[in-house]
Amino acid sequence: MSADLADLPPVSAADYIAAIAQHVSSVCVITTAWEGERFGLTATAVASVSATPARLLVCVNKSGQSHDKILRAGRFCVNVLTERQDQVALAFAGMAGVADKFAVGEWTELETGAPALVDAAACFDCRLASLSDHSTHSVLFGDVVATRHMAGEDALLYGVRRFRQLRKVFSGIAGDDEYL
Ligand SMILES: Cc1cc2nc3c(=O)[nH]c(=O)nc-3n(C[C@H](O)[C@H](O)[C@H](O)COP(=O)(O)O)c2cc1C
């Protein structure tokens, strides 16, 4: 990086938050199990890293309950919610006023023992491969050891401060009047 670029200060948190709010993502619930207890949080900061090896990343706030439990357990499951699972999203974001988050939805396990949501759009069961420290958050890299998915289910989205559904746009189907 040139000296000039290194001298540029970051934008304010308020400016960053206002801009990143425009970024629409699918809504996931990240779960783990540690010493017989289950933990989890709603997260949109989830991304695919590579297919070979199968690896994804999740950004988790260090101040939450689940963060340290995921690190200790060394396992987590990324559950991609369907558009009908906004109540699960609210529960795991701590916004539903429920004492037991796992009372919302039906839960099972795949390979690692982390909780997997039975009717999620997709589940990625991960062994924690590595982590990277970034101020308030850790970026957790997970090696995916098991998956499940439900073909045809649309994912729940979040952006511009609202839960959203996919709007289907049929473009590029030349010659088919039904979709024009
Ligand atoms: C739409 C939405 C997306 C969120 N995304 C994240 C995220 O990517 N990472 C994170 O650490 N928290 C995220 N949160 C906040 C956590 O879900 C929330 O702080 C939760 O209560 C943490 O639970 P815990 O303390 O039991 O771990 C998000 C919340 C909402 C509503």
Is 136 near ligand 1, meaning CB less than 6 Å away?
no
What lies within 8 Å, CB to CB, of 86 at 6+ separation is 27, 156, 163
What pLDDT is stored for residue 171 in this prediction?
72
Please, which pLDDT band fits residue 173 given cuts at 50, 70 and 90? low
Atom of ligand 1 nearest to the CA of 158: 1
The span from the CA of 91 to the CA of 120, in Å, is 15
Is 43 near ligand 1, meaning CB less than 6 Å away?
yes
pLDDT in tens, 24-71: 999 999 999 999 999 999 999 999 999 999 999 999 999 999 999 999
Closest CA to 69 of 102, 61, 118: 61
| Gap from CA of 96 to ligand 1 centroid (Å) | 13
pTM, full prediction: 0.94
Is 139 near ligand 1, meaning CB less than 6 Å away?
no
Answer yes or no: is pLDDT of 154 > 60.
yes
| Gap from CA of 72 to ligand 1 centroid (Å) | 19
Class of the CATH domain delimited by 26-162: mainly beta
Residue nearest atom 7 in ligand 1 by C-alpha distance: 43
Q: What average pLDDT does the chain have? A: 94
The ranges assigned to domains in the chain are 26-162
